């Protein structure tokens, strides 16, 4: 089974469980809507690519980690799109969850996705308790407070925003969870894989900022120039478009270089070199590394 | 150490961790504000009372379960108070979290409390993997979808609300988690303890409905007649005040009767008989069972 199939199967099993008998209809519909069809599934693909490169020793853990990370990412999108934050009407080319189901259901959908992610990780404990405990800690700290994606989003509520800390928490933390959780599940030494995740998180943030500035909203599935409109920091704005592209290429090159030794190192390097392309506009073809 | 001290210590350790170095200031302040000072701590007190009655064999598990359940309850209060739900200005006698910190921080505070609760449970895995796995499953299902408190709240977004299912999910599920998690952590057989939790959850819901109708808002710390104003189902309204009080007494009597055999059965029965009193208005002295 390829990586995409593994991700969709694990997500489907979890959403099916969460929307099973007894679930209020609106909540059930919104949970499916928030997860399917997905975006690029960047984080779970990275997680499984790393697990595979490390030997894929514990595939149940790897699939659960990948799906949990994606569910938490989806939860953050649902909540970040709400009127009190980005007030985004579109997501993945169609109405955002609160636009389609109303704010109350959107709020609960994000909450339920968070809980479903941790229940999924909890189900790994019986077969692999030691690794499951580390997995839960890796994923939990990458999402929660003081330095996960929730804290990253909370920096937007402060008067002064330390840019590096903001990006590290808001984007980098979940990418670092993807690489470390992937390594742990694959049989590798997870601590060695953090830097790769952090570099890819930074690269993704810059790619997203470039996208926000130049991409066609019809292709991207969400409006352009949201950052400028909302006064949010944007690397393409700060560095200029050429500067941002150079920086993105440099980061991807560094990411390729820093892949730790593992059975599938060569294939993983190829995966990473190509990984930024799908979420960049076509006119910005990258040849990284 | 008595039950209250154990609860506050476990909560304090978790909130301290979540608000440690690197946490944005507003989020850190709101996390503390949402948890301290607490309300009656009904659920964690019930959890530890059951654990104690069963022999208190795994106190780390019991304290973690009690604190996790309270953190999840606090998260639900923060989100339920928000403008898209109850739009409650007051909670525990002072401004609600979104009133004090704004909606964005309140939304993230609820999210971060959910994550902190599961991280706390995850830290029990290394010492007691089998019980920790069950604990995570008990607590997760009592909170998430399809039938936990999040689903209970989601029933309010449906056109037709099945009352029994709504109350069982919205209130009963977390009480059932408190008794079953308490029994599991104390060394008892957790499946035997679900009925007690469900009866107490129903009793608490009725006590809260009575309170909503008759209590002095200054004493209760939140406005009166919110249910009627918002068209929400209220038992005191449906059964009449006397009918609701009779039903509450009957439920408490049944709860006392159904306490499973355990070393501390007698003391637990006393705890339960008194348990509804603190959150009822003074003029409604109960002599239950």
Q: What is the CATH number of the domain that holds A237?
A: 1.10.600.10
Please indicate whether, in this complex, the C-beta atoms of A123 and B137 are within 8 angstroms of each other.
yes
Domain annotation covers residue A288: no
Q: Which residue has the tokens 């979808």?
A: B145
Is A286 domain-assigned? no
What are the backbone angles phi and psi of residue B276, rounded to the nearest 5°? -80, -20
The answer to the question of residue A289 being in a domain is no
In this prediction, residue A289 carries a pLDDT of 35
The total of structural domains in chain A comes to 1
Q: What is the mean pLDDT of residues A10-16?
A: 98
For chains A and B, count residue pairs whose Cβ atoms are closer than 8 Å.
202
Contact map slice: B 165-194 vs A, CB within 8 A? 165, 169
User: Which of A72, A79, A108 best tests the B interface by mutation, with the highest count of B CBs <10 A?
Assistant: A108
Mean pLDDT of A40-55: 96
- Count other C-beta atoms under 10 Å from residue B53's C-beta: 25
> What integer pLDDT is reported at residue B245 of this predicted model?
86
- In angstroms, the separation between the Cα of residue B80 and the nearest Cα of chain A is 9
Among B29, B144, B174, the residue to mutate for chain A (most A Cβ within 10 A): B144
Q: Are A97 and A30 in contact (CB under 8 A)?
A: yes
Judged against a pLDDT cut of 60, whether residue A225 lies above it is answered with: yes
CA dihedral of A112, A167, B68, B40, whole degrees rounded to 10: -100
- Mean pLDDT of successive 10-residue segments in chain B (289 residues)? 96 98 96 96 96 98 98 98 94 95 98 98 97 98 97 94 87 96 97 96 88 70 68 77 88 94 96 74 53
**What's the pLDDT at A46?**
96
Q: Is the pLDDT of residue A106 over 60?
A: yes
> Per the CB < 8 Å rule, is B25 touching A145?
no
Asked if the structure places residue A116 within a domain, the reply is yes
In which region does residue B261 sit, left (phi positive, over 0), alpha (psi from -120 to 50) or beta (all else)? Answer: beta
Residue B82 lies in a domain: yes
Domain span at residue A84 reads 3-279
With cut-offs at 50, 70 and 90, classify the pLDDT of residue A221.
low
Residue B236's CB is within 10 A of a number of other CB atoms, namely 24
Q: How would residue A90 be classed by pLDDT, with cut points 50, 70 and 90?
A: very high
Other beta carbons less than 10 A from residue B192's beta carbon:
16
For β-strands B90-91 and A90-91, DSSP reports them as unpaired
For residue B136, which residues of chain A lie inside 8 Å, CB to CB?
118-119, 122, 125
Q: Which of A64, A78, A71 is closest to A109 using CA atoms?
A: A78
Tokens 């705890």, residue located: B271
Greater confidence, A170 or A193? A193
* Smallest Cα distance from A40 to chain B, Å: 24
pLDDT of residue A287: 44
Do the domain assignments include residue B161?
Answer: yes
Q: Is B288 among the domain residues?
A: no
**DSSP string covering B72-141, please?**
HHHHHHHHHTSTTTT--SEETTEE-HHHHH-HHHHHHHHHHHHHHHHHHHHTTTTT-HHHHHHHHHHHHH
What is the C-alpha to C-alpha distance for residues B121 and B188, in angstroms, rounded to an integer?
19
Q: Give the pLDDT confidence score for residue B288 in this predicted structure.
A: 41
Distances (CA, A) of A121 to A20, A62, B206: 19, 10, 35
Q: Is residue A287 part of a domain?
A: no
Q: What is the ipTM of this complex?
A: 0.94
Instruction: Give the tens place of pLDDT for each residue, A176-215.
Output: 999 999 999 999 999 999 999 999 999 998 888 888 777 6
**Is pLDDT larger for residue A228 or for residue B45?**
B45
Split at pLDDT 50, 70, 90, the class of A110 is very high
Mean pLDDT (chain A) is 91
Specify the 3-state DSSP secondary structure of A95.
strand
pTM value is: 0.94
Give the nearest partner residue to B114 out of A102, A114, A141, using CB atoms. A114
Confidence of residue A240 (pLDDT cuts 50, 70, 90): confident
């Amino acid at each position: 089974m390829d990586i995409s199939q593994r991700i969709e199967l694990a997500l489907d099993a979890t959403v099916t469980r969460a929307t099973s008998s007894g679930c209020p209809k609106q909540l059930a519909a919104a949970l499916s809507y928030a997860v399917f069809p997905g975006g690029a599934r960047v984080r779970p693909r990275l997680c499984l690519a790393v697990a595979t490169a490390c030997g894929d020793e514990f595939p149940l853990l790897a699939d659960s980690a990948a799906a949990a990370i994606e569910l938490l990412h989806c939860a953050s999108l649902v909540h970040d799109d709400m009127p009190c934050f980005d007030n985004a009407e579109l997501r993945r080319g169609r109405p955002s969850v609160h636009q389609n189901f109303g704010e109350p259901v959107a709020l609960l959908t994000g909450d339920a996705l968070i809980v479903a992610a941790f229940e999924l990780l909890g189900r790994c404990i019986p077969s692999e308790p030691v690794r499951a405990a580390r997995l839960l800690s890796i994923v939990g700290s990458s999402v929660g407070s003081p330095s996960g994606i929730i804290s990253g989003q909370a920096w937007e509520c402060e008067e002064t925003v330390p840019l590096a800390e903001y990006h590290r928490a808001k984007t980098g933390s979940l990418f670092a969870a993807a690489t470390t959780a992937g390594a742990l599940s694959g049989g590798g030494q997870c601590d060695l894989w953090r830097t790769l995740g952090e570099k890819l998180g930074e690269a993704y943030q810059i790619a997203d900022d470039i996208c926000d500035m130049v991409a066609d909203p019809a292709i991207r599935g969400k409006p352009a120039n949201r950052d400028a409109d909302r006064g949010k920091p944007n690397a393409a704005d700060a560095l200029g478009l050429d500067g941002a592209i150079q920086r993105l290429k440099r980061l991807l090159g560094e990411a390729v270089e820093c892949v730790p030794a593992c059975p599938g190192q060569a294939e993983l390097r190829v995966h990473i070199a190509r990984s930024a392309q799908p979420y960049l506009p076509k006119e910005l073809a990258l040849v990284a590394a």
